[in-house]
Every structure is written in C-alpha cells, then in structure tokens.
Amino acid sequence: MGNDSGRGTIVYRNDLLGYHMSIGLEREDIMCQESYNDKVLAEIVVNEKIADRVYRMVFREKQIAEEARAGQFINVYCKAESRILPRPISICEVDRENGLVTIVYMIVGMGTKEFSELKTGDKVEVLGPLGNGFTLRDCEDNVIVGGGVGAPPLLEVVKRLPGKKRVFLGFRSGAFLVDEFRKYAEVYVATDDGSVGDKGTVVDLMRKVGVKSGNIYSCGPKPMLAAVQDMAEELGINAQISLEERMGCGIGACVGCICKIKADNEVGYTYKKVCKDGPIFDAKEVMFE
Amino acid sequence: MMTSVNIAGVDFKNPVMTASGTFGSGREYSKFVDLNRLGGVVVKGVASKEWLGNPAPRIAETYGGMLNAVGLQNPGVDVFIEEDIPFLRQYDTNIIVNIAGKTVEEYVEVAKRLRDADIDMIELNISCPNVKEGGVAFGTDPKMAEYVTSEVKKYAKQPLIVKLSPNVTDITEIARAVEAGGADAVSLINTLLGMKIDIYKRKPILANRVGGFSGPAIKPVAVRMVNQVYNSIKLPIIGLGGICTGEDAIEFILAGATGVAVGTANFSNPRATIDVVEGIERYMDVMGVGDVNELIGNID
C-alpha cells in the first residue's frame, strides 16, 4: 500500500497525553497499536419532555461520562440522510459511576425534532466530549448565570464547583431544571412574563440579590451574555461565558463557527473557533456585535 | 489489487484525498483517521498573509447538503510553512497546498513562498464563491483563468492543479483555458453558489447572504461536469462534489477522474476518507478489477 517516496512511516497516536510518535513500525504493528476516535452508538435510557419544546435525554456512554468536563459539548448525528451536519449539544450532567450522560435540548428544527422522537432503548450516534469546558476556580462566591436552554450545561458546573454557589436562571416563560440546581446551590429564577420567580431579566435579579464579587460562569442567549459581560466589567470580576454558533464539523477543522475576539491588530479583532477554542471564553475578550 | 494512481507525475498510493477547506491541515482529523492511508491531503486555502474571513453565521444546512461562507480564513503562508508542513510531513501522504489570492500578484507570491517548501503539489483556488475579489472572478472568465494559471505556473516549482468553478455556463471552456495556461491537472467541482433564507426573520441565514453549496445533493452536477471535462481536455482530473462512499468515488472515476476528494462528508462522518478508501477496494474486489486505472473514464 505504501508509495515509494522514501519517507519512513511515522504515525501519531492520540491519547490523553497528546501525540506519541512511533517510527518505522510495520503496518501490522501500527494497526494493532493505534486507537482512533470515532462516533459511537449510545443507548438511550431516558428521553422525556421537561418543558415546552424542551427535552432531556440520558444515554449510556462510559467514555464520554468519564472524560467530560463541565461546559463541553457533544455532536449528535441525525439518522435522516437529508440532514448531514451534526447537532452540537451541551452536556448537562454526567454520572461517571454508571457511565451516563445527560443532554437537554430544545426543538429548534428538524434535527432536534428527530431526536425528540427517540425512545428508551433506541440508539443515538454521538461524538465527544468536544470543546474546552469551563475552568473551575476555587473561590468564596461562585455565581452561575443561565438563560433558557443555556442553563443545562451549568448543572455540571454547579455539581463540581467547590465553595459557595449561587445560581441565577432566566427564562422567557416557565422554568426547567430548577429543582436539579437546588440540590447543589441557592437558586434565583426570573422570567420575562413573571410566570416563575421574579418578573424581568436574570441580570436585573442579580443586581437585586446583590452580586459584588467572585467568579461568574454563564451560558445563555447573546443579549444575556452581553449584559453579564457588562456587569462583570463594572464589578471588575472574572466571567466565563459559553458561546453558541452554527457549526459544521464540531472538531475545529472547517472554521465555520467563529466568534469575534478582541485582538491587538489593525482591525482590533480576530475570529476564533467556538467548537475548538471555546465554547467557553473569557468574557473580557469577546466582542458582541 | 492496484490502487495507486499518478497525477501530473506525482504518485498517489490510492486516488483518495481531502477537499480543501474541509480538513484543515489534517491535525483535527488525525485523531480519527490514519493519514498514512490517504493518497493526499489537500489543505485549507493559504494566502500570502492572514485573512480574517467572513462574519458569522458562516454555515447553514440544506436538504442533503450545506452552505458555507467561511471566506478563506487562514493565518497566511508563513504560519502554514512553519506549523503545518512539518506536521503533515510526519505522514506518508502527498501534501497539496490550496492557494488563494485577491490579485494575480498575491497568488504568485504564495507560489513563490512555497518554492522551497517540502510539498508535493499546488492547487490554485480560482473558484471560491465567498470572496469578493480574486477567487471566483478569475475562475469564471476564461481569459482571466488562463492568465492567472500561466502567471502562477511561471513561479510554481511543484505541479499545478487548478480548481474549477461550476458557476459557469460551460465548464469545458474554463477547463480548456487553464489547460492552455499550463495547468498540470484540474480539480472539480468547487461549491455551487446557493442561498438559504430564514422565513421568520425574513433574512438570509448566512452573514454573507450567499454561500458555497456542497454535500451529497450536488453529486450529479459534479459527476456530469467531470465527464464533460474528461471529454474535452487531456489533463488528469481530481473529481469532487458530494463523495461520501467508495461507490460515489467509483462513479467519479468512471466519469473520468484519476483522483477523488472527500469534503463535506468529513463533517457527517470523521472517518469518511477511510470509508471511501476501503469502499473503492471492496468494489474492485467484488467486481474483479485489478487496477483502479482501468476504471478511469471507462463508461459506454
């Protein structure tokens, strides 16, 4: 199979420590030593509706459960051949002991509609964990801010963060996952229509309750993240925000899912990949249009 | 079973390579596939200096395909030479560098910078629909296509592939023009110009409004164009456009392609390139084909 270029066969193998080079091995030796990542077919344990158009899916996938950091995501692939691109969905929580992964997703198109129709025992094709995840800091006052379907990935953050934790959740109407968050922290809820908790935005609620210091971990719609960014700047505190963008590959190759990041160059910005450099960014560096 | 092919004097262990812009420089996919098993890696477009590309959204899914308007974001040829070539050279596969420019001078500059680089071929990108200047403006005008090809050919040390745009009335006219300009091979097709509209917001999904349409939905157009070009010029052809499986690749080879490239399929299936390599071998085995070269353009 080799061509006669005269180059030795050098193979990179990917493992947790990065690349290892093995030089000059015969193909047979190489083939049995390599392990490459691939999509996996995971068995669905639960797939249930938890709010209007919002679903919670739990699937069995030991490796993802073991490796996932809070804030990472997975690619979920459709069965329909007409839908070729993976759907990137944040990991809501993992149960390492039982090898279970939970995702919470909203029906926003035909792909997520397809996922919502899957039943217990069905298989779903996934790849992950992907992206960088949050940097969890030990601090006296952790502030977790979620909006709508941006709230789910923060559950694993709350579970893993040491120290005092306060959770602020904002929704348009109604709420979900509030009880799950309450297991680990104080929870404050705001809704646009006042149907649950305070009427107004989650940032208004943060000001009312009194956020003055600590670290912010946030995920939600762009206007909310921009408001969180402003608040963190005003208070001079650190904030990490999770961004979302339409993705192609999800692994950093296609450069489709970029976000605008401040840079010291002629134009004052550069584009970074949400899937690979993120989805978690330091709020200080993000430029919202 | 012989799967090796020769394109413009360069030996490939098999006809399968990657489509520019879908595979980066192979780093991300090296965790999924053994790059040693690929005939070649065609890297993401490289310009003379850093290009930022277009704002987001850059991606939209369509029925059986997708639109992209990345706009050739790349860190520039110097970074590429320093970081990507050493990485790829660790593998036993051909390195094909796709080059981009806004002017003829910019294309020439990249080709010059690559003269002493350890690469196997250059692919001239005169067909990207997502950049305002250069790109597709050269690829849709036969005179310009011939001119830019001949200018780059003067300075390029490695064999030159020219990537053709499907967004023309007669692709054979452009193919003949780049052949006259001194191209050593052609690759086709680049993406078709497309658009998707969000009917609730009443605006295009892509920030660039329009984008390049790729994926399995475009395959029949690509196969037809490959066959047209095969029947009109003598240069070897690298066929691409919607290849997901070995069978798809065979279809392109029968239409007249010597090499094939896998693009959008990598997003649906990170191991798509290897699936295509194995699928070609399986077809040859089942059909009793001893040498893949027997299949090139071999239809009634």
Segment A159-167 shows an average pLDDT of: 93
pLDDT of amino acid A25: 35
With an 8 Å Cβ cutoff, are B34 and A3 in contact? no
pLDDT at A26 over 60: no
Is A11's pLDDT higher than 70? no
pLDDT the model gives residue A245: 96
- Residue A35: which pLDDT band, with cuts at 50, 70 and 90? confident
A91 is in an annotated binding site: no
Q: Is B128 a catalytic residue?
A: yes
Q: Which residues of A touch B21 (CB under 8 A)?
A: 254-255
d(CA A259, CA A269): 10
Nearest to B59 among A9, A14, A246 (CB): A246
Q: Minimal Cα–Cα distance from A124 to chain B, Å? A: 14
Can you read off the two tokens belonging to residue A44? 């669905």
Q: Determine the pLDDT at residue A139.
A: 85
Task: Measure in Å the smallest separation between the Cα of A70 and chain B Cα atoms.
Answer: 22
Q: Which residue has the higher pLDDT, A83 or A34?
A: A83
Of residues A211 and A289, more confidently modeled:
A211
Q: How confident is the model at residue A29, as a pLDDT?
A: 38
Is residue B288 helix, strand or coil?
A: coil
Which of B16, B100, B128, B255 is an active site residue? B128
* Interchain pair A3, B264: CB under 8 A: no
DSSP string, B142-182: HHHHHHHHHHHHHH--S-EEEEPPS-SS-HHHHHHHHHHTT
Residue holding tokens 């069965």? A79
Question: Which pLDDT band holds residue A34 (cuts at 50, 70, 90)?
Answer: low
Q: Does A86 touch chain B (CB under 8 A)?
A: yes
- Report how far residue B195's alpha carbon sits from residue B52's, in angstroms, rounded to the nearest whole number: 22
Q: Which residues are CB-contacts of B86 (< 8 A; sequence separation ≥ 6)? A: none
Q: Which of A37, A77, A247 sits opposite B59 (nearest CB)?
A: A247
The pLDDT score that the predictor gives to residue A71 is 98
- On the question of pLDDT at A17 being above 60, the answer is no
Pick from B28, B57, B70: which is nearest to A251 by CB? B28
Verify cis geometry, omega within 30 degrees of 0, for the bond prior to B189.
yes
| A16 confidence band (pLDDT: 50, 70, 90) | very low
Residue B69 contacts residue A254 (beta carbons within 8 Å): no
Nearest chain B alpha carbon to A6: B92
Residue B204 pairs in a beta bridge with B197
Quote the pLDDT of residue A13: 31
B205-227 in b/e form (b: 16+ CB < 10 A) is bbebeebbbbbbbbbebbbebbb
* pTM beyond 0.75: yes
Tell me whether residues A246 and B57 touch, CB distance under 8 A: yes
More confident residue, A245 or A139: A245
Please report the pLDDT score of residue B31 as a whole number: 96
pLDDT at B128: 80
**pLDDT digits 0-9 by tens, A189-205:** 999 999 999 999 999 99
pLDDT tens-place string over residues A97-153: 999 999 999 999 999 999 999 999 999 999 999 999 999 998 888 999 999 999 999
Alpha helix ranges (H) inside A161-216: 178-182, 202-209
CB contact under 8 A, B73 and A258: yes
Report which residue type is found at B71: G
User: CA-nearest residue of chain B to A34?
Assistant: B34
A249 appears as a binding residue in the annotation:
yes
Enumerate residue ranges in chain B where pLDDT < 50.
none
Burial class (CB in 10 A: 0-12, 13-18, 19+), A185: middle
pLDDT at A3 over 60: no
Which of A255, A277, A281 would you mutate first to test chain B, the one with the most B CBs within 10 A? A255
Residues of B in contact with A2 (CB under 8 A): 13, 92
Interface A-B: count of C-beta contacts within 8 A: 139
What letter represents residue A7's amino acid?
R
A87 is in an annotated binding site: yes
Cβ of residue A17 closer than 8 Å to a chain B Cβ: no
Contact A38 B270 (CB under 8 A): yes
Q: Is B44 labelled a binding residue?
A: yes
CA distance B62 to chain A (A): 7
Dihedral over Cα of A206, A210, A212, A213: its sign = negative
Candidate from A81, A248, A270 with C-beta closest to B68: A248
Per-residue pLDDT band for A23 (boundaries 50, 70, 90) equals very low
Instruction: For residue B90, give the DSSP letter.
Output: T
Distance (Å) from the alpha carbon of B300 to chain A's nearest alpha carbon? 30
Which of chain B's residues have a Cβ under 8 Å away from the Cβ of A273?
Answer: none
Question: Residue A14 forms beta bridges with which residues?
Answer: A19
Q: Are A104 and A251 in contact (CB under 8 A)?
A: no
Q: Nearest-CA residue of chain A relative to B35?
A: A11
